[in-house]
Amino acid sequence: MANREALRELQSRLAARLQSSQDEARTAQWLAVESGGIGFLLGLADAGEIFPLSALKPVPHTQSWFVGVANLRGGLHGVVDLAAFLGLRAPTLPESVREHARLVALNPALGAQCALLVERLAGLRLPEQLQRQDAADEATRPAFAGPVWRDADGRMWQELDLQALARHEQFLGISA
């Protein structure tokens, strides 16, 4: 009888911890990254795993921002240098940045076997930590550029819609 009570108590504690972790995951909405000196917010639902910068195999006759392919957990992923793709810097990743650089794979549900090369991870961001900013250039931005947000320190963060990015014509057109 004591074993049953202990088992019920253990199950209750586990259920409470599981619910708590699911609630935390739901509140964190974005993965904050930096690339080309700009802060970007990537939706957690569309971002996949994060990997250290690994050996990349170059692919000839591709755009300069398409840095190659990487083997991530046994699957080949095309790797796009986010800052170079957006025209924020030259396609060559500076050596000083390589140590902190990461590959952020896109969620497989998006249908793009791809990862973004970012220069630095900046943690998770919650909606209540940011304030949406009005943008005058909203009509001229590409479809994958979401709202701009400001944090408590005054830092601006550009939200990127990874789902729209994965379907964007220029992003898909890797051949030179």
- Note down pLDDT in tens along the chain; length 176 residues: 566 776 567 666 666 666 655 555 456 699 999 999 999 999 999 999 999 998 899 999 999 999 999 999 999 999 999 999 999 999 888 888 888 999 999 999 999 999 999 999 999 999 999 999 987 766 678 889 999 999 999 999 999 999 999 999 999 999 98
pTM for this predicted structure: 0.81
Tokens at residue 15, please? 């259920």
Classify the C-alpha dihedral 127-50-80-77 as positive or negative.
negative
Confirm whether 11 is domain-assigned: no
pLDDT of residue 19: 65
Confirm whether 100 is domain-assigned: yes
pLDDT of residue 63: 95
CA distance 161 to 173: 18
Confirm whether 117 is domain-assigned: yes
pLDDT of residue 54: 84
pLDDT of residue 6: 66
CA distance 94 to 44: 27
**What is the extent of the structural domain holding 35?**
29-172
Confirm whether 20 is domain-assigned: no
Confirm whether 160 is domain-assigned: yes
Sequence-distant (6+) residues with CB within 8 A of 30 are 41, 42, 43, 44, 124, 125, 157, 159
pLDDT of residue 16: 67
Assign residue 68 a region: left if phi > 0, alpha if psi is -120 to 50, beta otherwise? left
pLDDT of residue 14: 60
For residue 103, the domain's CATH number is 2.40.50.180
pLDDT of residue 11: 66
CA distance 172 to 131: 32
Confirm whether 72 is domain-assigned: yes
pLDDT of residue 64: 95
Q: Where are the beta strands (DSSP E) in the chain?
A: 30-35, 38-43, 47-52, 66-72, 75-81, 102-106, 114-118, 120-125, 130-133, 145-151, 156-160
Confirm whether 47 is domain-assigned: yes
Answer yes or no: are the C-beta atoms of 104 and 82 closer than 8 Å. Answer: no
Confirm whether 22 is domain-assigned: no
Number of structural domains found in the chain? 1
